Amino acid sequence: MSKKMVSLKDISRACGVSIATVSKALNDQSDIGRETKERIKETASRLGYHPNAAAQALKTNRTNNIGVLFVDEANSGLTHDYFSHVLDSFKRCAEQNGFDITFINADKSRSDNMSYLAHSIYRGFDGVVIACVDFFDPQVDELIKSSIPVVTIDHTFYNRIAIVSDNAKGMKDLVTYIYKMGHRKIAYIHGLESAVTQARLASFYKTLQGFGVNPPDEYVIASPYRDSESAYEATIKLLDLPDPPTCILYPDDISSFGGLNAIRLRGLRIPEDISIAGYDGTEIATMVSPRLTTLTQDTERIGREAAKRLIDMINNPRATIIEQVVVEGNLDPGGTVKKIAS
């Protein structure tokens, strides 16, 4: 095998260890055991591995560790389907490129009282990805304004690369589908205030207005994301209206199950008596009967793009272009939106 063809992946396969471990061993990092390090170096030499000089120079003062700041106020942690899939994709891409990932301690009650930035400096992260946080938190702002390479997911800062799902197009596609199925009385139980909510809500109104439909104020209700109980209560309010909607949109797939329960407890059938639609395209949406109509977000690409952009910024900061990367989702028609006579 020629020297140029040998990669960290080849060495990791030969040694039975991760690519991140190979990278650390070849860079003499202290958290790798001496025997493991020697075995990896011997294997690299035997295979004819010879790192590019320029790439080697870039690794000066590296830890090959990326921090992940993830704060879920709903306390659902990594059971949050959307972000767990995004971060799983991020992790796989990072590890394939020789990086480990470590979660930043986000517990505000922690005894060390370290800020997110202090924690990142203490850990020596080469970069940080930020997802599912209060982006207006002063600690987040401090980290964003620091010199540490940062990529954000689903929120845009003028001076940082952001990977965002195309919420405006996603909502447009969903509403257009529902309109074409004959619905005119369309309600929207949307999430609480955030950049994601703003984009989806504006697209909801704009799309309907484009069709000459102006939903009444009582058709639009705020409810926390992933809160099926709150969505249940909001659904009851909509069903109790003198002129109830024929279709209800929910902020996410989990919330739609609260609506589904409220509708069925009223003795109504989905979609025969009323239609519903979710958002995200989580696995649970495929497990109900009929299959939930939803907008499936491309979590695989969002996570992969976040990792690639952050690693590029770490490796070549001078050539990094600060931009927003928009990732489109796909409509899953499912079976919870009935075709009616318009």
In the block, tokens 């197009």 appear at 169
Per-residue DSSP letter, 5? G
| Res 60: pLDDT | 56
For residue 124, what is the domain's CATH number?
A: 3.40.50.2300
The answer to the question of residue 342 being in a domain is no
Instruction: Quote the pTM value.
Output: 0.77
Within 8 A by CB and 6+ apart from 2, the residues are 48
What backbone phi and psi angles, to 5 degrees, belong to 161? -70, 135
Instruction: Return the CATH number at 7.
Output: 1.10.260.40
Helices (H) and strands (E) in the chain, counts: 12, 12
Whole-angstrom Cα Rg for the chain? 24
For residues 142 and 197, membership in a common domain is answered with: no
According to DSSP, the residues that pair with 248 across neighbouring strands are: 187, 276
Backbone angles phi, psi at 238, to 5 degrees: -70, -40
pLDDT at 76: 46
Q: Is residue 156 in some structural domain?
A: yes
If asked whether residues 262 and 287 sit together in one domain, one would say yes
121/5 Cα distance (integer angstroms): 35
For residues 229 and 270, membership in a common domain is answered with: yes
Write out the residue range of the structural domain in which residue 98 sits.
65-165+299-327
Query: CA 340 to CA 321: how far, in whole Å?
Result: 48
Boundary-marking domain end, from 34, 58, 82: 58
Q: Are residues 147 and 184 in the same domain?
A: no
pLDDT for position 72: 64
Domain check: are 222 and 252 in the same one? yes
Asked if residue 276 belongs to a domain, the reply is: yes
Residue 84: other Cβ atoms inside 10 A: 16
- The answer as to whether 335 is a domain residue is no
Between CA 294 and CA 273 the distance in angstroms is: 18
Q: How many domains does the chain have?
A: 3
305 & 293 share domain: no
* Distance from C-alpha of 255 to C-alpha of 189, rounded to nearest angstrom: 9
**CB-based contacts of 96, cutoff 8 Å, min separation 6:** 9, 19
Residues 174 and 145 in one domain: no
Whether 287 and 312 share a structural domain? no
Q: Has residue 283 been placed in a domain?
A: yes
Domain-located, residue 339: no
Of the candidates 16, 40, 58, which is a domain's last residue? 58
Instruction: Enter the tokens of residue 336.
Output: 């919870």
In a shared domain, residues 13 and 46:
yes
Q: Could you tell me if residue 337 is inside a domain?
A: no
**Residue 81, Cβ density class (10 Å: 0-12 exposed, 13-18 middle, ≥19 buried):** buried
- pLDDT score at 109: 54
Distance, in Å, from the CA atom of 218 to the CA atom of 58, rounded to the nearest integer, reads 57
Statement to judge: residues 237 and 313 lie in one domain: no
Are residues 336 and 277 in contact, defined by beta-carbon separation less than 8 angstroms? yes
Q: Are residues 196 and 273 in the same domain?
A: yes
- The strand pair at 186-190 and 247-249 is best described as parallel
Q: What is the pLDDT of residue 63?
A: 85
The reply to whether 258 and 323 lie within a common domain is: no
- Whether 340 is covered by a domain: the verdict is no
Query: Measured between alpha carbons, how far is 97 from 299 in angstroms, rounded to an integer?
Result: 19
Upper half-sphere CA count for residue 166 (Cβ side, 13 Å): 15
Show pLDDT as tens, one digit a residue, over the chain (342 residues).
333 467 888 888 899 998 888 888 887 777 888 889 889 988 988 887 766 544 554 455 688 999 999 876 554 444 568 888 999 999 999 999 999 999 987 665 555 678 899 989 888 899 999 988 888 889 999 999 999 999 999 888 878 999 999 999 999 999 999 999 999 999 999 998 888 899 999 999 999 999 999 999 999 999 998 899 999 999 999 999 999 999 999 999 999 999 999 999 999 999 999 999 999 998 888 888 899 999 999 999 999 999 999 999 999 988 888 999 999 999 999 999 999 986
Encoding tokens for residue 68?
Answer: 């992940």
Give the end of a domain, one of 257, 279, 297: 297
- Comparing CA positions, the residue from 259, 238, 223 lying closest to residue 186 is 238
